[in-house]
Amino acid sequence: MLTHTTIATPDGPFTVVEDDGAVVAAGWSDSADAVAARAGRSGSVEGECASASAVRGYYEGGAEALARVPLDLRGTVFRQRVWDALTTIPPGETRTYGSIATALGSPGASRAVGGACGANPIALFIPCHRVGGASGALTGFAWGVDIKRSLLARERGL
């Protein structure tokens, strides 16, 4: 059964959706239906998710709390590889779409990396906010570039 919790954060309401204790969707919205839909899921009920404490911990300065949360990510093999690579980027640091593609052995796949970031259904836990364009610009983020900027500033201040 899907359960969701919405947490008040400095960046706005953040909703986490879990299935059997594993995060399946997360994002800055107070609509559990909208957040769950990004993961192709629906029908969650409100309740306390175990991962909510990790989100609170992140916003209190403990970015490492997110790494200990079980995730249930579904996507293509390539997207899974991209999402795994994103979890290795240290808090406050950034990488480019191209550098991620190169690290995965597919140097011409920067747009595909961007697509995987855009399709990431588990924002914050899979830190696509740490990836930007080749110029170093903070490019697209499903939840808004202002939130991306805020997350990076918070992480750099840790």
Question: Please, are residues 27 and 142 in contact by the beta-carbon 8 Å criterion?
Answer: yes
Question: Please, are residues 101 and 112 in contact by the beta-carbon 8 Å criterion?
Answer: yes
Separation between Cα atoms, residue 141 and residue 2, nearest integer Å: 25
Side-chain-side CA neighbours of 99 within 13 Å: the count stands at 14
Which residues form the catalytic set?
128
Q: pLDDT tens track of the chain, all 158 residues?
A: 899 999 999 999 999 999 999 999 999 999 999 999 999 999 999 999 999 999 999 999 988 889 899 999 999 999 999 999 999 999 999 999 999 999 999 999 999 999 999 999 999 999 999 998 888 777 778 899 999 999 999 999 86
Q: Which of 64, 53, 58, 71 is nearest to 11 (CA)?
A: 58
Question: Please, are residues 14 and 124 in contact by the beta-carbon 8 Å criterion?
Answer: yes
Question: Please, are residues 93 and 127 in contact by the beta-carbon 8 Å criterion?
Answer: no
**Considering the entire predicted model, what is its pTM?**
0.93
Question: Please, are residues 100 and 108 in contact by the beta-carbon 8 Å criterion?
Answer: no
